[in-house]
Amino acid sequence: MKKHNFSAGPCILPQEVLKQASAAVLNFNDDNLSLIEISHRSQPFVQVMEKAQNLVKELLNVPKGYSVLFLQGGASMEFLMVAMNLMKVNGSAAYTNTGAWAKKAIAEAKDLGNAIVLGDSSDKNYNYIPKGYTIPDTVDYFHCTSNNTIYGTQIKEFPHCPTLMVCDMSSDIFSRKVDVSKFDLIYAGAQKNMGPAGTTLVIIKDEILGTTGRNIPTMLDYNTHISKESMFNTPPVFPIYVSMLTLQWLKDLGGVDAIEKINQEKADLLYNEIDNNSLFEGTAKTEDRSTMNVCFLLKDESKKEAFDKMWNEAGISGIKGHRSVGGYRASIYNAMPIESIQVLVDVMKKLEQKDD
Q: Which pLDDT tens digits describe the chain residue by residue (356 residues)? A: 689 999 998 989 999 999 999 999 999 998 899 999 988 888 889 999 999 999 999 999 999 999 999 999 999 999 999 999 999 999 999 999 999 999 999 999 999 999 999 999 999 999 999 999 999 999 999 999 999 999 999 999 999 999 999 999 999 999 999 999 999 999 999 999 999 999 999 999 999 999 999 999 999 999 999 999 999 999 999 999 999 999 999 999 999 999 999 999 999 999 999 999 999 999 999 999 999 999 999 999 999 999 999 999 999 999 999 999 999 999 999 999 999 999 999 999 999 998 66
Q: Which of 9, 38, 27, 15 is nearest to 237 (CA)?
A: 38
Specify the pTM.
0.97
Architecture of domain 15-253: 3-Layer(aba) Sandwich (3.40)
Number of alpha carbons in the 13 Å side-chain half-sphere of residue 221? 15
pLDDT > 70: percent of the chain: 99
70-107 confidence digits (pLDDT tens): 999 999 999 999 999 999 999 999 999 999 999 999 99
Task: For the domain made up of 255-355, give the CATH fold.
Answer: Aspartate Aminotransferase, domain 1 (3.90.1150)
159-210 confidence digits (pLDDT tens): 999 999 999 999 999 999 999 999 999 999 999 999 999 999 999 999 999 9
| Predicted local distance difference test score (pLDDT) of residue 41 | 86
Type of residue numbered 148: N
- Tell me how far apart the alpha carbons of residues 108 and 68 are, in angstroms, rounded to a whole number: 23
Number of alpha carbons in the 13 Å side-chain half-sphere of residue 113? 23
Q: Which residues contact 338 (CB under 8 A, 6 or more apart)?
A: 262, 265, 266, 269
The domain locations on the chain are: 15-253, 255-355
Active-site residue set: 101, 168, 192
